[in-house]
Copies of this chain bind each other. A is one copy, B any other.
Amino acid sequence: MKTRKILLTESEIPDKWYNIIADMPNKPLPPLHPGTKEPIGPDALAPLFPMELIKQEVTTDKWVDIPDEVRNIYSIWRPSPLYRAYGLEKELDTPAKIYYKYEGVSPTGSHKPNTAVAQAYYNKQEGVKRITTETGAGQWGSALSFACNHFNMECEVYMVRLSYDHKPYRKIMMNTWGAKVFPSPSEATEAGRKILQEYPDTTGSLGIAISEAVERAASNDDTKYALGSVLNHVKLHQTIIGQEALKQLEKADDMPDVVIAPFGGGSNFAGLAFPFIRLNLEEGRNIRCIASEPTSCPKLTRGVFRYDFGDTIGMTPLLPMYTLGHNFVPAPIHAGGLRYHGAGVIVSQLLRDQLIEAVAHDNLDVFEAGITFARSEGIIPAPEAAHGIATAINEANECKKHGVSKTILFNLCGHGYFDMKAYQDYFEGKIVKHEVSSNDIEASLAELDTPLIN
């Protein structure tokens, strides 16, 4: 019987996160103050984040120790299994070897707790009593709720009202771990009340939810704010994924030619790919690392590299990123986790330096890939995860076409148990192709008056 899952023991959970900044030939450009357009230092983040996370945000140390308390909570689901996709290989009749790292085994069903647990820990260490955040579809809010519960901290989640009303089960999941979930805009904040007064029937937006969560953190000494992607420290924490995968492939006496992960803000991709990019930078290997984004939100494949706001309403520092413009509104695809206008700073610089690749997949192709995977491997993937599957299938088909055997690794970042409505839409023929017109991208970019990068 062939071994399907390559497992590690809990003692093999990595004890350091990998910081790719140490190895980057061109370091990321600094964030700029939104008003003065001057570079800002770590202090500007102090009202929102604990000092240890701010240090991690700017550190150039190559390795950052993972506290035992964090590894202890990781051990609830980590090390996550690495699967050899025998079923998918057979279905595709490909000479390629396909592996996937399965992050859906976490209690919240995705890779998000990898950073949520770390962030909650450092906040707890610095005496923070309450963490606030925003959530759209709910994966990030669930992860932070889970993490705060473990450290006996309060968690306040501002959930876009549209999601709050339409996805009650993610809200209940957060409640189960003791979090307070507010439909945003809410009466709990100045920002929320103001918007409700003006637009009492609004369904909210991620931008508004961010404003509410940030306001609560900025105006309460015992409260901080947490973000689930984009920032450097979030990417850092996610490197646990790729480090484990590397150990697991070494156990299987294999090494990937291609590493693939879905791309939203970048933490998913960073998590799997950075430890392999390290091998490229350190040892001159030539592992291709591919970010998979939706054609409906193609910042990496069709965006521009310039300074832009991290949020949609222009409150955050200006970040050097591939962006479609912070006012860009992606089509309402089910892969909510990938509907973000920009790419995190590190990943953007890596793409600029051609150290990584990017591809975009249409919504319909993504669901077809998801179904193919569910039927050949047995696991129903989240729509976000299915983007990585679509890229892996394309690469495996190329192998077949050219009669070469490559080793492909992708991040199956989450299961689809909370996404059955999306599959229902697929079966009912409601999933359609979403190609953004060049005019729309140009129009969104034309609105930007943020600094260019030469």
Residues of A at the B interface (CB closer than 8 Å) are 1-5, 7, 9-11, 68, 71-73, 75-76, 105, 107, 109, 146, 149-150, 168-169, 172-173, 175-178, 371, 374-375, 377-380, 417-418, 420-421, 423-424, 427
Choice from B3, B10, B105, B146 contacting A1 with Cβ under 8 Å: B10
Q: Return chain B residues, CB-CB under 8 Å to A11.
A: 1, 3
Q: List 18 A-B contacts (CB under 8 A).
A: A1-B68, A1-B71, A4-B76, A5-B75, A76-B378, A76-B379, A107-B378, A107-B379, A107-B380, A150-B378, A169-B420, A172-B424, A173-B423, A175-B423, A176-B374, A177-B374, A178-B375, A417-B417
Nearest Cβ in chain B — how far from A155, in angstroms? 12
A378 and B146 within 8 A (CB): yes
Choice from B5, B178, B424 contacting A168 with Cβ under 8 Å: B424
Q: Return chain B residues, CB-CB under 8 Å to A71.
A: 1
A75 and B172 within 8 A (CB): no
Q: Return chain B residues, CB-CB under 8 Å to A420.
A: 168-169, 172-173, 176
Choice from B7, B150, B176, B375 contacting A380 with Cβ under 8 Å: B176
**Complex CA–CA separation, A175 to B109 (angstroms):** 21
Copy count, this protein chain: 2
**Complex CA–CA separation, A327 to B11 (angstroms):** 54
Choice from B3, B105, B175, B427 contacting A172 with Cβ under 8 Å: B427
Query: Chain A interface mostly helix, strand, loop or mixed?
Result: helix
A375 and B423 within 8 A (CB): no
**Complex CA–CA separation, A2 to B5 (angstroms):** 23
**Complex CA–CA separation, A72 to B5 (angstroms):** 11
**Complex CA–CA separation, A76 to B420 (angstroms):** 21
**Complex CA–CA separation, A7 to B5 (angstroms):** 12
B371 and A176 within 8 A (CB): yes
A172 and B9 within 8 A (CB): no
**Complex CA–CA separation, A169 to B418 (angstroms):** 9
Q: Return chain B residues, CB-CB under 8 Å to A380.
A: 107, 173, 176
Going nearest first, the 6 A-B pairs with the smallest beta carbon separation are A169-B420, A417-B417, A172-B420, A107-B378, A4-B75, A172-B424
Q: A152's closest neighbor in chain B, by CB?
A: B375
Given known contacts A7-B9, A76-B378, A177-B375, what 10 new A-B pairs fall within 8 Å (CB)? A1-B71, A2-B72, A105-B105, A109-B417, A169-B421, A172-B423, A173-B423, A175-B427, A176-B375, A417-B417
**Complex CA–CA separation, A7 to B80 (angstroms):** 12
Q: A68's closest neighbor in chain B, by CB?
A: B1
Nearest Cβ in chain B — how far from A85, in angstroms? 11
Q: A380's closest neighbor in chain B, by CB?
A: B176
Q: A146's closest neighbor in chain B, by CB?
A: B378
Nearest Cβ in chain B — how far from A149, in angstroms? 6
Q: A420's closest neighbor in chain B, by CB?
A: B169
**Complex CA–CA separation, A382 to B436 (angstroms):** 42
Q: Return chain B residues, CB-CB under 8 Å to A173.
A: 380, 420, 423
**Complex CA–CA separation, A427 to B402 (angstroms):** 57
Nearest Cβ in chain B — how far from A112, in angstroms? 13
Nearest Cβ in chain B — how far from A146, in angstroms? 6
Residue of A72, A107, A172 with highest tally of chain B CB at under 10 A: A172
**Complex CA–CA separation, A374 to B73 (angstroms):** 14
Q: Return chain B residues, CB-CB under 8 Å to A379.
A: 76, 107
Nearest Cβ in chain B — how far from A63, in angstroms? 19
Residue of A176, A177, A380 with highest tally of chain B CB at under 10 A: A176
A75 and B378 within 8 A (CB): no
Q: A175's closest neighbor in chain B, by CB?
A: B427
**Complex CA–CA separation, A3 to B374 (angstroms):** 32
Choice from B76, B169, B375, B421 contacting A149 with Cβ under 8 Å: B375
Q: Return chain B residues, CB-CB under 8 Å to A10.
A: 1, 3-5
Q: Return chain B residues, CB-CB under 8 Å to A176.
A: 371, 374-375, 380, 420, 423
